[in-house]
A = this chain, B = another copy of it.
Amino acid sequence: MSRFRLVLHVEPRPGVLDPQGAATRRALEQLGFASVQAVRVGKEITLEVEAPDASEARRQVEEMVRVLLVNPSTESYRMELAETPGRNGSGAAANTTLGAGAR
């Protein structure tokens, strides 16, 4: 088994209310940052999972997305295989974008 690090970039779907983004923008404007045109706030979830290989690690995380981590009606996500800590925790691979979607 090896240890894989996958990063989920989860964003509000375009057109869906983004209260955190709106509140952040208002606060920045009140602080005098007039140049701000748009703000979106999403989540970045970094997961370390044990799996026989990268595709199995990805399959497991996609199941976690389906069951818990992403709300498909309001969020979309992109998954990235970050450097692979490998068996003894030493970093090895580069970042690879694996896919995106809501489910």
Contacts and interface: CB of A to CB of B under 8 A. Distances in A.
Nearest to A27: B68
Interface string A28-53: 10010101111111111111111100
Interface in A1-39: 3, 9-11, 24, 27-28, 31, 33, 35-39
Each complex incorporates copies of this chain amounting to: 2
A101 to B, nearest CB: 17
A60 interface: yes
A64 interface: yes
Given A49-B35, A49-B36, A44 B11 contact: yes
Interface of A: 3, 9-11, 24, 27-28, 31, 33, 35-51, 57, 60, 63-64, 67-69
